[in-house]
Amino acid sequence: MTQNEPKNMNKLLSIAGAVFALILLLLYMQGSFVSKVAPGVIEKTADLKRSTAQTSVVEKKQVDDVMSWPGTVKSRTVANIAPKMTARILEIKVHASDKVKQGDVLARLDERDIAAQEQASLAVLAGAIAEGNRAKADADRIQSLYAKEAATKEHLDTIIAQDKAAQARVNQANSTLNEVKSLQADTLLRAPFDGVVLKRFKEPGDMGLPGVPVISLQAPQGLRLEADVPTSCASQFTIGMHAKVRIDTLGKTVIAQIDEISPDVDAQTRTQLIKVTLPTMTGLQAGYFGWLEQGCAQHEALLIPVSAVQHIGQLEVVKVLAEGHQVMRHIRTAKVFGDQIEVISGLVAGEVVISNPQQAQ
């Protein structure tokens, strides 16, 4: 035997001892040295007759399948501001989310063409007025001559007709000038009401066209949640009924009233647009994200009090009464319905659970 052999032997013995101790520890943790109980069930020897625990019976009930559909908060009053004429956009004074007052200038169009039209209209009007004045003077002169029997009736009628035609041209020139001046006012796009800018569709330098929106403006009052709901569930809604709306940004859930149901069905998504009038909420703004929640169908569920469920790590357990003793049972839960929670495995109807475990210790 070499000098290193005793050292190697001691090392091997140490390793073997450590492995053996680890095996014993694992066997102990698995319960190999204690009496076993049924899988998933741990018996607790406390006598419940001496316990102050509150108990509840596992119930089987019909519950609503509450569904949630995403939606967007929008204003009931939305205006798309568009020019009445073709002109280049020189300036847009607002951006999205800006607040404006009624009458504020939102955008300005190029008015040089309008100014040129105005000058031309003024010139036409001046010429018409001069011609009208001359025709009026001629009519007065011939009228005087006719009174002195120095002019014929036919000549007088002709001059009077020319005077009337000249005055008509003056009136037409005036109307044209007024129309041009109104176009000049239309080069300024103004807010029709107090509101918030929703969107800019154009930028300075773009061409403004009649009827094509430049800015979208919405009133901050009368907010609604608009959500697309599958047709299979949309049929459950009626105008005037109440539904639950959740606004995550504000951390609030409110009861709102169905205001409008679109009769049209989207051919691609098979959904209908549902609009829900929202109550006044501090901080609520158009554009916020929300959820429309409503029962769409029903199913049979096992229900127990939420307070009966204990969490051990990621496990869910309850204490069940079995022959006067507490038995710990592993379960799986689903949705919460008020102060009750649905159990999808681990319990059967009629069993008794401790509904207030904190008092059962």
Q: Are 42 and 155 in contact (CB under 8 A)?
A: no
Nearest to residue 141, comparing CAs of 132, 131, 151? 151
- pLDDT reported for residue 41: 45
Q: Are residues 202 and 103 in the same domain?
A: yes
Q: Which domain range does residue 197 map to?
A: 83-108+187-218
Long-range contacts of 162-167 (CB under 8 A, 24+ apart): 162/135, 162/138, 163/132, 163/135, 163/136, 163/138, 163/139, 165/135, 166/128, 166/131, 166/132, 166/134, 166/135, 166/136, 167/132, 167/135, 167/136
Average pLDDT over residues 157-185: 80
Last residue of one domain, picked from the residues 162, 185, 208? 185
CATH number at residue 280: 2.40.30.170
Ranges assigned E (strand) in 173-313: 188-190, 195-200, 207-208, 215-218, 223-230, 242-247, 252-261, 271-277, 289-305, 310-312
Judge contact between 208 and 113, C-beta under 8 A. no
**Who wins on pLDDT, 33 or 132?**
132
Q: What is the pTM of this model?
A: 0.51
Number of folded domains that form the chain? 4
**Exposed / middle / buried, residue 300 (Cβ in 10 Å: 0-12, 13-18, 19+):** exposed
Give the highest mean pLDDT range of 6-20, 167-181, 213-227, 295-309: 213-227
Query: Is the domain of 192 the same as that of 103?
Result: yes
- Domain-located, residue 288: yes
Residue 45 is assigned to a structural domain of this protein: yes
For 103-146, what is each residue's pLDDT tens digit? 999 999 988 877 777 777 778 778 878 887 887 887 888 777 77
CATH number of the structural domain spanning residue 313: 2.40.420.20
Residues 231, 273, single domain; the answer is: yes
Report pLDDT for 358: 53
Q: Between the CA of residue 321 and those of 175, 325, 328, what are the distances in Å?
A: 95, 6, 9
- Is there a single domain that holds both residue 340 and residue 289? no
Name the token pair of 30. 């698995």
**Structural domain includes residue 27:** no
* The pLDDT of residue 200 is above 90: yes
Q: With respect to residue 32, please indicate whether it lies within any of the assigned structural domains.
A: no
* 87 and 214 co-located in one domain: yes
Neighbours of 74 (CB within 10 A): 19
Categorize the per-residue pLDDT at 58 as very low, low, confident or very high, splitting at 50, 70 and 90: confident
Domain boundary among the residues 263, 279, 297 is at 297
The CATH number of residue 116's host domain is 1.10.287
Pair (212, 223) in one structural domain? no
Q: Are residues 319 and 195 in the same domain?
A: no
| Within-domain flag for 235 | yes
Same structural domain, 132 and 168: yes
